[in-house]
Amino acid sequence: MPDWKPPAPYRSHAPDEQPPLESPEYGSTRLRSPRQPLVALPQGLTELTGPVLGSDRVGPLDHDLTRQHDGEPQGERIEVFGRVLDGDGRPVRDTLVEVWQTNAAGRYLHAGDRHPAPLDPNFTGAGRAMTDSEGRYRFVTIKPGAYPWRNHHNAWRPAHIHFSLFGHAFTQRLVTQMYFPNDPLFDQDPIFNSVRDPAARQRLVAAFDLGATTPEWSLAYRFDIVLRGRDATPMEDEA
């Protein structure tokens, strides 16, 4: 046996906290969800470690999606900020956060997006930031638009910002979407509603934060993100 203790594993998700892979209302899951049960993988060092991607991947304006071109993008300027925490409320420090989104008209700068809404020459829609020592991140962007997507008759995606996070371990990797409060499109969106637990679903919705707005400049939304927490280590149990 080795002379070191393996690190504590990360806790499993609560039931209904994660969307089921097979969600018939979301048509694309039909041929892309496994039919065999997932196999339980005990967390070894490959799962308990992960890429430590440094700030060398983030340029000085990568967090500001409104300043990546010569001119300013159309739309409602917003700040999106929050903390990345683990399931025990501890900050997830120095971790890479990547975002991508439509422009204000609901169009992605992507060849596959056929929605007949205008592109914006001053908006790409991709950003990157590192969390600080308190787990905080901040982006400046414009509010994305809703767009139709043919999943069902007259299907529209509620406005959202895609988020990608690494956390500190392969086990903590999370790709998700941030939504805006009180969106009237929530009820008909099978991706949002794929999360069966209503309380868990609400954790995908940012909070409007008047106190964080910049007067005469921008509105603000707070979106805290919670990654999986760890079981207590044996040493902490003994303490």
Partner 1 sequence: MTTPSQTVGPFFALGLPWADGPFAVAEDFPGAFWLRGVVLDGAGEPVPDALIEIWQADPAGRFDHPDDPRGPVATAGFRGFARCPTDTDGRYAIRTVRPGPVPGPDGHLQAPHIDVSVLARGLLDRLVTRVYFPDEAANADDPVLATVDAVRRQTLIAKETDDGIAFDITMQGDHETVFFTF
Instruction: State yes or no: is 57 an active-site residue.
Output: no
Min. distance of Cβ 199 from partner 1 in angstroms?
A: 8
Which of the following is catalytic: 67, 136, 138, 162? 162
Instruction: State yes or no: is 69 an active-site residue.
Output: no
The 3-state DSSP class for residue 228 equals coil
**Nearest residue (CB) to partner 1, 200 versus 212:** 200
**Nearest residue (CB) to partner 1, 50 versus 91:** 50
Min. distance of Cβ 216 from partner 1 in angstroms?
A: 30
Which of the following is catalytic: 63, 107, 128, 160? 160
Distances 72 to 107, 121, 135, 236 between C-alpha atoms, Å: 17, 9, 29, 51
Which of the following is catalytic: 128, 157, 168, 228? 157
**Nearest residue (CB) to partner 1, 213 versus 231:** 231
199, β-bridge pairs? none
**Nearest residue (CB) to partner 1, 77 versus 107:** 107
- Dist CA 161 CA 126 (whole Å): 10
Query: In terms of Cα–Cα distance, which of 230, 198, 223, 205 is closest to 16?
Result: 198
- Dist CA 221 CA 210 (whole Å): 8
Min. distance of Cβ 220 from partner 1 in angstroms?
A: 19
The 3-state DSSP class for residue 144 equals coil
Instruction: State yes or no: is 162 an active-site residue.
Output: yes
- Dist CA 224 CA 206 (whole Å): 8
| Whether the Cβ atoms of residue 205 and residue 221 lie closer than 8 Å to each other | no
Which of the following is catalytic: 10, 137, 147, 179? 147
Min. distance of Cβ 137 from partner 1 in angstroms?
A: 13
Residues marked as catalytic: 108, 147, 157, 160, 162
